[in-house]
Chains A and B, each alone.
Chain A
Amino acid sequence: MTKVTIDPITRLEGHGRIEIFLNDAGDVDRAYFVVPELRGFEKFAVGRRAEDMPQITSRICGVCPTAHHMCSTKTLDDLFHVEPPPAAKKLREMLYNIFMLEDHALHFYFLGGPDFIVGPKAPKAERNILGVIGKVGVDVAGQVIAMRKELRELIAYLGGKVVHPVFGLPGGVAKGIKKEDQERFVKAAEQGVDFALFTLKAFHDLVLSNKEYVDLILSDAYTHRTYYMGLVDDQNRVNFYDGMLRVADPNGKEYARFDVRDYVQHMAEHVEPWTYVKFMFLRNVGWNGFEDGEGSGIYSVAPLARLNAADGMATPKAQEAYEEYVSTLGGKPVHQTLANHWARIVEMVYAAERFLELARDPEITSDDIRRVPTETPTTGIGVVEAPRGTLVHHYETDERGVLTRANLIVATQGNSARMAMSVDKAAKALIHNGNVDDGLLNMVEMAFRAYDPCHACATHALPGQMPLLLSLRDSKGNILKEIPRGG
């Protein structure tokens, strides 16, 4: 066996390495997606004050700090048994949609997009935002940069810091919008809608009009049949901020619909010895290895999954974009991994439209933005749809509101099993007779990049002097004794 290593994998958040084993014929025997990173948030959260969690957990990820911050804030509402006033909820949801819009734009223009805009096999020195600027021109690039800047300034207006906001408290938010500033939000939202529609058009012009790319999207090398999970509203439409969790099976039928408080009954984590990331699966189907299909509990999250788990979008232009997406790709569920890029833009349209609805809402400038908790904290569980998928926080505290236990199900973990399969499948389809070059290896990387993974997030939880648990077994494989190393 020959081993080909891609290290580090690039244009993603966090760390990763791909190890590809070639057999004697030079074909791929198996490719492993290794995540060599971990930190330990769940454990060092214990002993901290609950109100610090929206800020501490935002340090799980500085790319999606707003997702952790918001999920943690909602978890505090549940923990302190306090319902925020309507204006606070609207402010939170508006801030959240601003964030989704800019974060998805970051992926399209900076991280994943260069593979299409510049080309998957372009020289590696050009396959990046600089190449994108070269291709689309400084004017367009300037507009993208200006739009992101304005969106991020609005997040900073409400949240203080844009990276790691300080916005959320149990029962509401720390800051509202002054009446005289509402117009700035409305204007930015209007521009945001135009920007999202412009991005959708760019995707049409640069990707969908290119047969080579469309063939790539539709190819079996980048396709899997798994379950899909996402938050939906009461009409089963995509919602990023709140709702019920819904799971569609590989045929597109509803498999489950549940409140996040029941997440442990549905979501489970599997451990492999060769990577620090844990793999999510549906507890009621079970872990049956890295396999596609109904019999495998592997599910997927993030844009492709959200659009599969839902029945549509809650705003008009996004619904239009969604219908076109579904019909062009041959109906639901859409199993093509690279369609994530398209689904992400459909979601940009929704985020922008929802931002506009909320920015125009007269209640958005209300002063009634906090309810001070009066009850003793106990257990809190919260959920949001992070850009990279379903995110769950779960805290338990003593009566002072000091954490005694935490469990975090982080978005990228929801895709970790499917991503490992995607990298393996793409490598097998693309590498033959020992022919390996930078362009082909980049196309293997495209298999994970479509998910916009964040391994900083996905490895928040994993621990100590890892590796080391010695298991003594009898001849049937039953564990007789386990000796952990360290400690």
Chain B
Amino acid sequence: MPKPKVGLYWCASCGGCEEAVVDLAEKILDVVAAVDIVFWPVALDFKKEDVEALSDGEMTAAFINGAVRLSEQEEMVHLLRRKAQYVIAFGSCAHLGGIPGLANLTDRQSIFQYAYRDAPTVVPDDGIVPRQQVTVPQGDLKLPEFWERVRALDQVIDVDYYLPGCPPTPTVIANALTALLEGKLPEKGAVLAGTRALCYECDRAATKPEKGCTLSEIKRPWEIIADPEKCLLAQGILCLGPVTRGGCDAVCVKGNMPCTGCFGPLDRVRDFGAKGLSAIASLLDSNDEAEIERLVNSIPDVAGVLYRYSLPASVLFKSAQTKGDAP
């Protein structure tokens, strides 16, 4: 029987998801033995034309990481969708929009103005800027269009499964591959990681106060030297472990820093940031309005903290984003 064909592609991403695949280390040899990788630009020399030459559905699975930012990425994910039986959104950016999705907090005009005019190192040369269509002496060159906003993969194409994390850990990846190869995938639309909150797999869980944490001060990570054994939330550091899907083995907390939520929300939670905000509100140790305001104000940039990986997927931001928008 021929080996299943698999493709990996990156959109608006950083390459960390590709590194996470390489971090399968010796297991990658097993993967290579079990599947036929037909497209993976970071590591293999197959080109777009090789993908186009496949028949529709010939690939068993396409693992796509990165958010969708440019017309070229949109075109590629449609192509991969056609060629693959399963599309797996790989990592935070494809899953929820990821950190590049924070660009949805700003507008393209001010981005434009800064990068080409105002950045201290830019020397504007008679207003030359990149253009989608440029005529050079030898002919025409094209650049993809930069859409108005960043989108998660399922806002562009149909997605079968999600691998969360920035990036997904090698264990999460290996489990998903095994499920795929053994035909033991859960129902369509599932997020292939833990089903309980991160706190359940945190080494410091035992030091979390029995009646739950309360916050009378919210400390920024640089303001205190954190006890490396004790629950960070109990020390006043905002850790998003209680509202974040488990599966990463609490690696950031092992580095003595708080969880920032890259595995996204638990099942049945539609909006990660809203859930996080409600969790914080319930922790605040005060009924005094002025005191509550002081505590909330001690978290500058609530949007950037709570929607760091999920802004494009947020229900709250969706209406604002779609106004006057190209795709």
A203 within 8 A of partner (CB): no
Kindly state the separation between the CA atoms of A88 and B70 in the bound complex, as whole angstroms: 41
**The residue from B48, B139, B260 contacting A8, defined by CB atoms under 8 A apart:** B48
**The residue from A55, A62, A271, A454 contacting B116, defined by CB atoms under 8 A apart:** A271
A325 to chain B, nearest CB (A): 28
B264 within 8 A of partner (CB): no
CB-CB under 8 A from A38, the residues of chain B are 69-70, 146
Kindly state the separation between the CA atoms of A15 and B41 in the bound complex, as whole angstroms: 9
CB-CB under 8 A from B251, the residues of chain A are 156, 160-161
A271 and B122 contact, CB distance less than 8 A: yes
**The residue from A8, A32, A42, A167 contacting B119, defined by CB atoms under 8 A apart:** A42
A287 and B125 contact, CB distance less than 8 A: yes
Residue interface mask B126-169, A partner, CB < 8 A = 1: 11111111101111010111101000000000000000001100
CB-CB under 8 A from A127, the residues of chain B are 45
Of residues 64 to 123 in B, which have CB atoms within 8 Å of A's CB atoms? 69-70, 72, 98-100, 102-103, 105-116, 119-123
A341 within 8 A of partner (CB): no
A118 to chain B, nearest CB (A): 11
CB-CB under 8 A from B224, the residues of chain A are 372
Of residues 155 to 204 in B, which have CB atoms within 8 Å of A's CB atoms? 166-167
Known: A49-B301, A49-B304. A10 touches B45 (CB 8 A): yes
CB-CB under 8 A from B308, the residues of chain A are 52, 56
CB-CB under 8 A from B260, the residues of chain A are 55
A184 within 8 A of partner (CB): no
CB-CB under 8 A from A9, the residues of chain B are 41
Of residues 26 to 57 in B, which have CB atoms within 8 Å of A's CB atoms? 26, 28-29, 32, 41-48
**The residue from B102, B112, B139 contacting A465, defined by CB atoms under 8 A apart:** B112
Kindly state the separation between the CA atoms of A15 and B15 in the bound complex, as whole angstroms: 10
B79 to chain A, nearest CB (A): 12
CB-CB under 8 A from B41, the residues of chain A are 8-11, 15
Known: A42-B119, A175-B255, A442-B45. A65 touches B16 (CB 8 A): yes
A456 within 8 A of partner (CB): yes
Residue interface mask A446-469, B partner, CB < 8 A = 1: 000000001010000111111111
Number of interface residues, chain A, beta carbon within 8 A: 119
CB-CB under 8 A from B138, the residues of chain A are 1, 21, 29-30
Known: A164-B16, A464-B109. A36 touches B72 (CB 8 A): yes
B269 within 8 A of partner (CB): no
B228 to chain A, nearest CB (A): 7
Q: A37-B12, A274-B141, A464-B112 are in contact. List 9 more A-B contacts (CB 8 A).
A: A36-B143, A264-B121, A407-B120, A463-B112, A466-B131, A467-B143, A469-B116, A469-B127, A486-B109
21 contacts between A and B (CB under 8 A): A3-B139, A9-B41, A10-B41, A15-B41, A44-B111, A59-B100, A60-B14, A128-B43, A152-B23, A156-B255, A163-B20, A170-B222, A175-B256, A268-B122, A273-B128, A273-B130, A372-B223, A402-B300, A456-B14, A465-B112, A468-B132
Please report B residues at the A interface, Cβ cutoff 8 Å: 10, 12-20, 22-23, 25-26, 28-29, 32, 41-48, 69-70, 72, 98-100, 102-103, 105-116, 119-134, 136-139, 141, 143-146, 148, 166-167, 220-226, 228, 251-257, 260, 300-301, 304-305, 308, 326
